[in-house]
Structure 1
Amino acid sequence: MSLFASMFGSTYREAGSFSSPGGWLLRAIGGGKTNAGVTVSEYGSLRLTPVYACVNRISNPIAWFPLRMYRSRPAGGKEVVSPGNGKGQHPFAQRLGVRPNDLMSSRTVRKTSQAHALLWGNGYLEIERDGRGRGVGLYPLLPDRTGPVRRNGDHWFETTIDGTRHQLDSDDVIHIMDQSQDGYVGMSQIALHREAVALGLATETFGGKFFANDAKSGGFLLHPGKLSPGAKQNIRSPNGEVKRNSENPAASLDDQSGLNNAHRVKVLEEGMKFIQTTIPPEDAQFLGTREFQIAEIARIFDVPLILLQSHEKTTSWGSGIEQLMIGFIRQTVGPWVDAWEQELNWKLFTEEEKEQGYYVKFNMNALLRGDMKARAEFYNKVFMVGGFSPNRILQLEDEDPIGPEGDEHFVPANMVPLKRATDPNYQPNGSATPAAEREPDPNEDEAEERAERDGQ
């Protein structure tokens, strides 16, 4: 049983993000609040809609692609591994793409760990093994409580569950990461770009407070003379705090502001006037700033703006949305898929299984193969030159094969190699037989006699 499974009763808590353990990273990059005046963490950054959308856009394909276990054939090609314990079988073959552990679906496991890698820069999964050392389960580990340790030439992982620190063998932890300074720990995208995320969060807070204040900016009250003691008492208490309602202590002058009182007439005593002092949102380019921060976040995660439902000054790649999606999968999602496959193929299988040709692979054809017409034309052209067999085409379309006969390759009968058309002695494997050594063909003699008569 895996460490995660045995300790699953631990309570999930929103930890201190990149400030843990001990706050070393937060101090290293400046710590505390950002220049925008807000605190940024990996958990809190998800409250910013562009961050959430980018994480979703990349994690969803990783979680959606079919993930299967294969085995290389000695003569070439591959076969899908079936579940079981016999030769050519594996106990984790079916569960890998359906239910990597009893508590989570394959989609949940992959999307969770991919989101960890996008926010923290590191996604960790513990491998559960049976008595023969074969991988039979995958469990995600919290990235803010897990990390690699390298000491005296040894390498392992440590994680904290229920307040207890545990060591995990390096071969029992799948580690998904992107950029790194040392090759062992990935860099947190949120920590690196915390100021950009902070500006986005600050504009949201500003917008919320702006509308909570009747969609008006701040200012002061201008009195034509001296404020009478009664009016002063009605506005503020002697110490300057907001005047409280004696009948309802929870109420205050704030009851006269906010969206619930928008557009109502407010009465100012003794000829007072309200003077606006702060810059109006249109002058501060509030909407432009929010739109720009969407583009900033999109650049961090390498996601096209149009996939974030933002059409500000954007153009489509290629001829339209299909080419844009293909470019996004190849440029952004593809490298993450490669990271998953490399880690799984290196650590999930035993050395014996690797020698037997076991490996796993994501099927990305669903998003890369184009529309039905384009696929049909491509398959037809490759099939006509003997490149694809019928079963190969069915495999690319995630359809069942038609049997052993479907593995045959075909070429048109009216097409011959150029060498055969120019060399009467040509043989298929490049071995030419001299005419003197061939058996006499009576049909050839008749053809020659006919040709001579026609010439006369």
Structure 2
Amino acid sequence: MKIWQRVKTTFYTAYASWKGQGFDFSNWFGRTFWGIDNSQLATNETIFSVITRLSNTLSVLPIKLYKDFDIVVNQAADVLINEPNQNMNSFDFINALEVSRNEHGNGYAVILRDIRMQPIEIIPLDPACVMEIVNREDGSLWYQVNGESNTMYVHNLDMIHVKHIRGPNRWRGLSPLKVLANTIKYDKAVQEFSLSEMEKKESFILQYAANVDKETRSRIIGDFKRFYAENGGILFKEPGVEIDPIEKKYFASDTLASEKITRSRVANVFNVPVSFLNESGGGTFGSNEQEMIRFVNMTLLPIVRQYEHEFNRKLLTKVDRKNGMYFKFNLGGLLRGDTTTRTAYYQAAIRNGWLSQDDVRRYEDEPPVGGNASKLWVSGDLYPIDLPISERKSSATTSSTVEGGEKSE
């Protein structure tokens, strides 16, 4: 039997063991699978900040299953949106994937299916336990998952894999923290040096003249030791004695400059505006709205599209996709702007007939009221878009004027 036939047999044997009510996938890994320490996130404030912002922003975005622009619900949508697995809600699931993607460069989640091959659970995995393998016979991608006591091979259609950029001959994404290795090392060295300098006690140079006798010298040194031990007080300066403090090498401005460099480099690698890391000197936009538009278009949109493609390909069947079904994150809430901007936008949309009042109410999280509020209107001022022209006031007035012979030439 060929090696990859054995691999496939192993996979299907493992898959068969997944079935059944009450299955607990975590038992396969053991109790310590989730306990790997995250040292970089725990020790670097800037890295923690940017990963927290990205993961939380993505986690709060509404995600729905659509069919030709209408919201629908099936088993895959219910699992993803409401209960990905027995231990997580949708927020925790997306958050865990995005944190893994940003820390390790890759986020993995195995899809468990029922006998009809429909998703029943989606469970995030530790990236350190997963490795990509390509079958040379047919070129298919598989994932080797190493547990505490077992090794499993999962086909790519049963593994959600979100990642950072990768090379043409690689399936594994590049970790941003590896790119920032020198920056993190430099920042840590500066912090340790600054901390050690601040923790040092004051240093002095004690000079006395050659004609100072031994008894006076011992008394002067004793008085100075007492002064130093008490961290202050009164010290009488004897004739022929000079006391000069040794200046510390720590300067607060050096630490601030170093932190500014670190924030700039981290923002570049994670592709976020540097102002998102509380750097006041990095803003080049005329308004917060412009900055948010750039963040959404250049940072969030590529991330969101990657998640959508993974969910569409691996949670929906080909029949579902042919019938017009697709998952979609709603980014509109991040681009609504302030009250004045939204009001002008909604007014233009309603008066030009491409949004109804009920559409606006949904965007503002208000319930639709139906009736005329669900219709499209055009300014005239204003009519339902399906109202015949002859029944509009301006047309009726013109017609009566023409019939009465009062039309001016």
Q: Which residue of 2 aligns with 1:54?
A: 50
Provide closer, same or farther for how the CA distance between residues 98 and 213 of structure 1 changes in structure 2, counting only shifts above 3 A: farther
Provide closer, same or farther for how the CA distance between residues 162 and 275 of structure 1 changes in structure 2, counting only shifts above 3 A: farther
Task: Specify which of 237, 241, 250 is matched with residue 281 of structure 1.
Answer: 250
**Which residue identity lines up with residue 188 of structure 2 in the other structure?**
L
Q: Which residue of 2 aligns with 1:188?
A: 175
**Which residue identity lines up with residue 298 of structure 1 in the other structure?**
A
Contact 2:132 2:141 (C-alpha < 8 Å) held by counterparts: yes
**Which residue identity lines up with residue 36 of structure 2 in the other structure?**
E
Alignment deviations for residues 234-281 of structure 1 (CA, whole Å, 9 cap, x no partner): xxxxxxxxxxxxxxxxxxxxxx9xxxx89469xxxxx9x99969x712
- Give 1:450 shift: 3.3
Provide closer, same or farther for how the CA distance between residues 310 and 262 of structure 1 changes in structure 2, counting only shifts above 3 A: farther
Aligned length: 349
Contact 1:70 1:360 (C-alpha < 8 Å) held by counterparts: yes
2:375 aligned with 1:408, yes or no? yes
Provide closer, same or farther for how the CA distance between residues 449 and 403 of structure 1 changes in structure 2, counting only shifts above 3 A: closer
Q: Which residue of 1 aligns with 2:395?
A: none
Q: Which residue of 1 aligns with 2:350?
A: 383
Name the Cα RMSD after superposition.
Answer: 3.9
2:324 aligned with 1:365, yes or no? no
- Distance in 2, matches of 1:158 and 1:4, equals 16
- Distance in 2, matches of 1:445 and 1:362, equals 53
2:148 aligned with 1:162, yes or no? yes
2:95 aligned with 1:108, yes or no? no
Q: Which residue of 1 aligns with 2:267?
A: 298
Q: Which residue of 1 aligns with 2:236?
A: none
Provide closer, same or farther for how the CA distance between residues 222 and 284 of structure 1 changes in structure 2, counting only shifts above 3 A: farther
- Distance in 1, matches of 2:39 and 2:263, equals 18
2:65 aligned with 1:81, yes or no? no
| Correspondence list, 1:340-355, <5 A | 340-355=307-322
| Correspondence list, 1:301-450, <5 A | 301-311=270-280, 313-319=281-287, 321-403=288-370, 407-413=374-380, 447=402, 450=405
Alignment deviations for residues 205-242 of structure 1 (CA, whole Å, 9 cap, x no partner): 2233233333x69x9999999xxxxxxxxxxxxxxxxx
Q: Which residue of 2 aligns with 1:10?
A: 31
Contact 2:76 2:315 (C-alpha < 8 Å) held by counterparts: no
Provide closer, same or farther for how the CA distance between residues 413 and 10 of structure 1 changes in structure 2, counting only shifts above 3 A: same
- Give 1:47 shift: 1.3
- Distance in 2, matches of 1:142 and 1:171, equals 18
SS in 1 for 2:405: helix
SS in 2 for 1:281: coil
Q: Which has the higher helix share?
A: 2
Deviates more, 1:124-133 or 1:395-404: 395-404
- Give 1:14 shift: 3.0
Q: Which residue of 1 aligns with 2:101?
A: 117
Deviates more, 1:125-134 or 1:399-408: 399-408
SS in 2 for 1:361: strand
Percent sequence identity is 23
Provide closer, same or farther for how the CA distance between residues 349 and 405 of structure 1 changes in structure 2, counting only shifts above 3 A: farther
2:68 aligned with 1:64, yes or no? no
Alignment deviations for residues 292-317 of structure 1 (CA, whole Å, 9 cap, x no partner): 22222222212223222232x33252
Contact 1:157 1:167 (C-alpha < 8 Å) held by counterparts: yes
**Which residue identity lines up with residue 281 of structure 1 in the other structure?**
Y
Q: Which residue of 1 aligns with 2:222?
A: none
Structure 1 gap segments, 5+ residues each: 16-41, 73-77, 83-89, 226-255, 266-270, 417-425, 428-442
**Which residue identity lines up with residue 162 of structure 1 in the other structure?**
E
SS in 1 for 2:43: coil
- How does the TM-score come out when normalised to structure 1? 0.66
Structure 2 gap segments, 5+ residues each: 1-17, 211-224, 234-240, 384-388, 391-397
- Distance in 2, matches of 1:449 and 1:194, equals 86
**Which residue identity lines up with residue 182 of structure 2 in the other structure?**
E
**Which residue identity lines up with residue 193 of structure 1 in the other structure?**
L
Contact 1:203 1:290 (C-alpha < 8 Å) held by counterparts: no
Q: Which residue of 1 aligns with 2:116?
A: 132
Contact 2:67 2:325 (C-alpha < 8 Å) held by counterparts: yes
- Distance in 2, matches of 1:318 and 1:298, equals 20
Contact 1:67 1:360 (C-alpha < 8 Å) held by counterparts: yes
Contact 1:7 1:161 (C-alpha < 8 Å) held by counterparts: yes
| Correspondence list, 1:25-36, <5 A | none
